[in-house]
A and B are shown apart, each in its own frame.
Chain A
């Protein structure tokens, strides 16, 4: 265990940024929190979590995959990939850290997504324990401990100090690069902080939410539930939940005609959209009810069915606070299992 006083945080940032790119969660002019490249004077946000999740670092919203240059009758294929530089992300929450392992299951499974892998290998994750979880937090439901957030280095902020504990080789390597600012210490303060967070966790309004009733073996009964109609009724069919979600990983690949060639890019897609997975025969899900059901079935049934029971949700609560009509996975879970108990 290592520690550094809060007032030295800027020095830690500047030393880190000397060696590699550094991103920290900070406030935009509009007061929304997002990960931004650190520069002198940029302050850590007070917000509990960023609006967009940290998945952007490995799975950006849009990304060029390949280019084609057309000249006369010849077509040249251009590899637009660039070797990613090392980067460090500071202050990732436990939920987002878990989301990376969920994304890994999708992108690092055969066939490996080399674009994703490239970034994944170069990123070092410094996670930060949640001293003040929001009422919308329910990571505990999925067995995530926001008091021990994981990642390459996990951190606690308490009594004017940041405590750092490296967990992986990358984490050790990071600690080495900034060791001049750190002092070694025992684990008591961090353990005390963990106990305090554990006490808060019990008070959270969604602490009692469980995954009981969901999972790969519940496919038929949940799919045919009559409650979907009522749940999906108000859904606007926008992609807010999908795009702020740390685990939503669907994308579309499109060609853009640049006038002198083609740029083939991929971008996030949302199963809530009417043109999602649209093929020559049309799209498979004709109404919003089916699209709505797909999103939650994917997270709560299909994903665990294919991934040894791991759910496709990390309980970060972003969809709870951002949905324009306040319909979300918690309401869906509660509603679907209502009457079961």
Chain B
């Protein structure tokens, strides 16, 4: 796959179809791959990679890159393509200046999960037929990819792209047995006390590094309310547990109806806070109350929070829950 992508990217750069390519650049340890902009076939040849560790969603870089002259090629995994479509829908990215190349994806690996399996001193990792061979300072180890997948891949909803100009590899299918709301349901069935304890435990680890916000393709405000001194709620570090709650509730709310569930927030969290559970709660509520909706799936429908029906449920539905 990687070779096909390199070849195609070089071709398109050389024939002038595109002026730059957003892709993934190799690092020092196989797993530490950095998103990068390539401007020549030589750069592509030297550093471009597409491996089991290309979890990063490249679509957000288009906000900046697509404003540059010429076309920008971007490689999109299925989940990334939804983020891209949503950005186009919100007029954050100009569709005409992007050449979207869809690439197949069988799930990406999470190096933290590999470390959680007790693997230390990782020097190299190779993948073959769904098995990872990890070469470490302290000897070799093999692991099945399926067991060390990123959370977003373990609960992948579809391997089919929302939008693209060109497809490399095979188009996947929707994942029929995907149960991405399982954990949300589990939390809903707990008592409020238990839920409170669960979330305090998770959110209290937050260090307010803003990685979740800055990586999120739906968070494209020029000035975030939490960075804006004039908003009255600007905060740099959580000085009180309230501020952790506040930040995550407001952030999840602001992307509600626009979040494509790409899972980047959870992937990048240095403290392993399951932030996707907040977004999925909103998605689940929206699906149940206002009809199934997938952000980024189509260019026309109104997002649920800028839409309404006169027959919508009353807010009191929340406190009547679980009464029966």
Residues of A that sit less than 8 Å from B by CB: 28-32, 34, 46-48, 51-52, 61-62, 64, 132-136, 200, 203-206, 230, 233-234, 236-240, 242-244, 252, 254, 256, 263, 265, 267-270, 273-275, 278, 320-322, 324-328, 330-331, 334
> Across the interface, do A61 and B237 meet the contact criterion of CB distance under 8 Å?
yes
Contact flags B104-142 to A (C-beta < 8 A → 1, else 0): 000000011001101011110000000000001110000
> Across the interface, do B209 and A32 meet the contact criterion of CB distance under 8 Å?
no
> Knowing A61-B237, A238-B213 touch, does A132 contact B271 (C-beta < 8 A)?
no
> How many pairs, one residue from A and one from B, have CB atoms within 8 Å of each other in the complex?
135
Closest B residue, CB atoms, query A62:
B239
> Knowing A51-B271, A234-B36, A234-B61 touch, does A330 contact B215 (C-beta < 8 A)?
no
A234 to B115, CA, bound (A): 25
> Across the interface, do B121 and A132 meet the contact criterion of CB distance under 8 Å?
yes
Interface centre among B207, B214, B236 (most CB of A within 10 A): B236
* Chain A neighbourhood of B297, CB < 8 A: none
**Is B273 an interface position by the 8 A CB rule?**
yes
Segment of B7-15, B24-32, B248-256 in the binding face: B24-32
A205 to B32, CA, bound (A): 14
A278 to chain B, nearest CB (A): 8
> Across the interface, do A203 and B209 meet the contact criterion of CB distance under 8 Å?
no
> Across the interface, do A236 and B215 meet the contact criterion of CB distance under 8 Å?
yes
Q: Give the contacting residue for A331; candidates B27, B56, B121; CB below 8 A.
A: B27
**Is B185 an interface position by the 8 A CB rule?**
no
Q: Give the contacting residue for A256; candidates B122, B207, B213, B239; CB below 8 A.
A: B239
A265 to B235, CA, bound (A): 11
> Knowing A31-B116, A238-B215, A324-B268 touch, does A135 contact B35 (C-beta < 8 A)?
no
> Across the interface, do A240 and B121 meet the contact criterion of CB distance under 8 Å?
no
* Chain A neighbourhood of B137, CB < 8 A: 132-133, 135, 200, 203-205
* Chain B neighbourhood of A256, CB < 8 A: 239
> Across the interface, do B33 and A326 meet the contact criterion of CB distance under 8 Å?
yes
A193 to chain B, nearest CB (A): 16
> Across the interface, do B236 and A52 meet the contact criterion of CB distance under 8 Å?
no
A38 to B171, CA, bound (A): 52
A330 to B234, CA, bound (A): 33
B277 to chain A, nearest CB (A): 12
**Is B34 an interface position by the 8 A CB rule?**
yes
Contact flags B202-213 to A (C-beta < 8 A → 1, else 0): 100101111101
A336 to chain B, nearest CB (A): 15
> Knowing A205-B28, A244-B270 touch, does A233 contact B118 (C-beta < 8 A)?
no
